Amino acid sequence: MSVPHADLRIDAGWIVPVRPTASVLANHSLLVRDGRIAALLPTLAADGWSVAEHVRLPDHVLIPGLVNLHTHAAMNLLRGYADDLPLMTWLSEHIWPAEGRHVSPAFVRDGTRLACLEMLKGGVTCFNDMYFFPEATAEAAVEAGIRIAAGLIVVEAPTPYAADPDDYLAKGLAARDAWRDHALVQFCLAPHAPYTVGDRALEKIVTYAAQLDLPIHMHVHETEDEIRHSLEHHGVRPLARLRALGVLGPNLTAVHAVHLNDEEIDSLAAHGCHVAHCPASNLKLASGFAPVARLLAAGINVGVFGDAPGRSPGQGRQRRSRHAAGPTGPGNGYPGQRPGFGTGGTHRLTGNRQAGRRGGGQSGIGGHPALLRPHLPAGIQRGTGTGGPCLGEWPGRIGGRPQRPLGRSRNPGPCPCLAGTYFGWTIKKRGMRPAFPA
């Protein structure tokens, strides 16, 4: 009988495959062959395989790579620039003029390189970006070995990248043609926001999205000012305008979605839209609290993201997830309920609930391995033991009782395995006690 072969075997103390939900496999091994998961087995059974590389992680939890659902990665170079201002002041008086002076392919490449390092360190193996010169973003992502959905940005205003919406689209589609066959690179259409993109451009974007089967990725209902601007200029709220233009649909990821009434939540749900949630950005800019619990209750898929570094402190996903699990907020509508632990649990907020649709993610970021399951690509984040702020330091309360962090994070100081803490916490809430070390 021939011995099965794998290129890589990882033995982990615990493996969280995501499906079935809330399951933790102790003393299991993951086997990878040709970049895909060949098997997920009890470690004893894996001894029957021949392997080229054998990694032992007895103190680690192995999880799938996380998805950062919305970034402006290159803006890492603008981190800390013009802090603590309202969104429109920050954009129109500081960021947009600075971008006009400095943005170039080299700027985008260098900023994205930096962001990729930060994201990989935080467990992110796929990000959904929106910025100028998307080919430079893709180049940096491929160099770092991280998956990207590169947003083909469109705004009305001229920038160093393009002169008008047609120019943005032409350049973006040319970048897509150049990179479309790369295994790590996918594209989406990225009209910036309802207040920066006109009707004619949005109609074209909807047509391209349908013809090319591309996701759309757009800031939506981020601030009250945005709603006011739309009422003044279009006579309707932004989502009503987008619905009339055909933008709403299962390929739309609505970024922020902070200011929503019940009718708009129903509309997002009815159209199968997804929401990208960044409480860190919303808190920093005092934009408000997204009604995440109501979105989840309506059946909307919600993921978290890092946004631009100038708007939130970093690109690491655990930090975003911690914020998502923290504030309930006056706009939430469900006082006391922490959205990160609602129905469907944390996996919905991490993007790890993705399964199947469009051959990949529910959020339209296809092909990302959000599950540890045979035949899926092996996008695995290894805990590095490099330390960092421990999620367990957050004084969480579930069901009125303070929750002690699990595993190593009981010790004060840096947590050697952020992912382990995070998933351990979720599992404990569900009444399951995996065999984490005391």
Q: Minimum Å distance from CB 255 to Zn ion?
A: 6
Q: Minimum Å distance from CB 208 to Zn ion?
A: 21
Closest to Zn ion by CB, 112 or 421: 112
Closest to Zn ion by CB, 70 or 243: 70
Binding letters toward Zn ion, positions 302-341, x by CB under 5 A: -----x----------------------------------
Closest to Zn ion by CB, 153 or 296: 153
Contact between 73 and 314 under an 8 Å Cβ cutoff? The reply is no
Give how many residues touch Zn ion by CB under 5 A. Answer: 1
Within a 10 A sphere around the Cβ of 35, how many other Cβ atoms? 12
Q: 134 is written with which tokens?
A: 């998307």
Q: How far is CA 138 from the centre of its chain?
A: 16
Q: Minimum Å distance from CB 351 to Zn ion?
A: 16
Q: Minimum Å distance from CB 380 to Zn ion?
A: 28
How far apart, in whole angstroms, are the C-alpha atoms of residue 379 and residue 5?
A: 19
E-strand spans in 305-396?
380-381
C-alpha to C-alpha distances, 217 to 7, 120, 291, 377, nearest whole angstrom: 36, 22, 19, 24
Q: Minimum Å distance from CB 173 to Zn ion?
A: 22
How far apart, in whole angstroms, are the C-alpha atoms of residue 369 and residue 372?
A: 7
Q: Minimum Å distance from CB 220 to Zn ion?
A: 11
Q: Of 80-88, 90-98, 268-276, 299-307, which part binds Zn ion (CB under 5 A)?
A: 299-307
Helix (H) or strand (E) holding 346, with range, is: helix 346-350
Closest to Zn ion by CB, 226 or 307: 307
How far apart, in whole angstroms, are the C-alpha atoms of residue 182 and residue 273?
A: 27
Contact between 16 and 372 under an 8 Å Cβ cutoff? The reply is yes
Closest to Zn ion by CB, 264 or 307: 307
How far apart, in whole angstroms, are the C-alpha atoms of residue 156 and residue 164?
A: 6
Closest to Zn ion by CB, 99 or 307: 307
Q: Of 3-11, 301-309, 388-396, 425-433, which part binds Zn ion (CB under 5 A)?
A: 301-309
Q: Which residues sit at the interface with Zn ion, rule CB under 5 A? A: 307
